[in-house]
A and B are shown apart, each in its own frame.
Chain A
Amino acid sequence: MTELFYSGAVVAVIATLLVIVQTNVVHALIYLVLSLLSVAVVFFSLGAPFVAILEAIVYAGAIMVLFLFVVMMLNLGQRSRDQEKDWLPARTWFVPSVLAAVLLMQLTASFPSAQTQIKEIGARAVSELLFGPYVLAVELASFLLLAGLVSAYHIAKKS
Chain B
Amino acid sequence: MQWEVGSALNIASILAVVIVIAAMLIWVERRLLGFWQDRLGPNRVGPFGLLQVVADMIKIFTKEDWIPPFADRFSFVLAPTIIMIVILFSFSVVPFAPGVGIVDSNIGVLFVLAMASLGAYSVMLGGLSSDNKYALLGSLRAAAQMVSYEVFMGISLLGVVALAGSFNLREIVVAQEGGWFVVPQFIGFIIFLIAGIAESHRLPFDIPEAEQEICAGYHTEYSGMKFGMFFVGEYLGLVLISSLITVLFFGGWQGPLLPPLVWFFIKASCFIAFFILLRAAIPRPRYDQLMSYGWLFLLPLSLINLLITGAVILLAN
Contact = CB atoms under 8 A, between A and B. Distances in A.
B121 A68 contact: yes
Given A60-B118, A73-B140, 5 more contacts: A65-B120, A69-B143, A72-B124, A72-B140, A72-B143
Given A26-B75, A30-B78, A50 B107 contact: yes
Interface of B: 72, 74-75, 78, 105-107, 110-111, 113-114, 116-118, 120-121, 124-125, 127-129, 136, 139-140, 143-144, 146-147, 150, 154, 167
B117 A27 contact: no
Contacts of A52: 107
B147 A57 contact: no
Given A26-B129, A30-B125, A69 B111 contact: no
Contacts of A69: 124, 140, 143-144, 147
A62 B147 contact: yes
Nearest to A26: B75
B237 to A, nearest CB: 16
Contacts of A53: 107, 110-111, 114
Contacts of A30: 74-75, 78, 121, 125
A56 B147 CA distance: 14
A65 B124 contact: yes
A72 B167 CA distance: 35
B106 A62 contact: no
A66 interface: yes
Interface in A42-99: 49-50, 52-54, 56-57, 60-62, 65-66, 68-69, 71-73
Given A24-B72, A27-B74, A30-B78, A68 B114 contact: no
A122 interface: yes
A31 to B, nearest CB: 10
A147 B116 CA distance: 28
Given A53-B114, A61-B114, A72-B124, A26 B143 contact: no
B143 A56 contact: no
B153 to A, nearest CB: 11
Contacts of A50: 107, 110
Interface of A: 24, 26-27, 30, 33, 49-50, 52-54, 56-57, 60-62, 65-66, 68-69, 71-73, 122-123
A73 B137 CA distance: 10
Contacts of A61: 113-114, 116-118, 120, 150
Nearest to A75: B136
A141 B78 CA distance: 36
23 contacts: A26-B75, A26-B129, A30-B75, A30-B78, A30-B125, A50-B110, A56-B114, A57-B114, A57-B117, A60-B114, A60-B118, A61-B113, A61-B114, A61-B116, A61-B150, A65-B120, A66-B147, A68-B121, A69-B144, A69-B147, A72-B128, A72-B140, A123-B110
Nearest to A50: B107
Contact of B118 (A24, A56, A123): A56
A29 to B, nearest CB: 9
Given A30-B75, A53-B111, A72 B121 contact: no
Contact of A65 (B114, B121, B167): B121
Q: Which 9 A-B pairs have the closest CB atoms?
A: A61-B117, A56-B114, A53-B110, A57-B114, A53-B107, A69-B143, A49-B107, A65-B120, A72-B128
A100 to B, nearest CB: 27
B254 to A, nearest CB: 25
Contacts of A56: 114, 117-118
A68 B118 CA distance: 12
Given A49-B106, A65-B120, A68-B121, A57 B113 contact: yes
Contacts of A123: 106-107, 110, 167
A54 B114 CA distance: 8
B68 to A, nearest CB: 16
Contacts of B125: 26, 30, 68
Contact of B143 (A24, A54, A68, A122): A68
A65 B140 contact: no
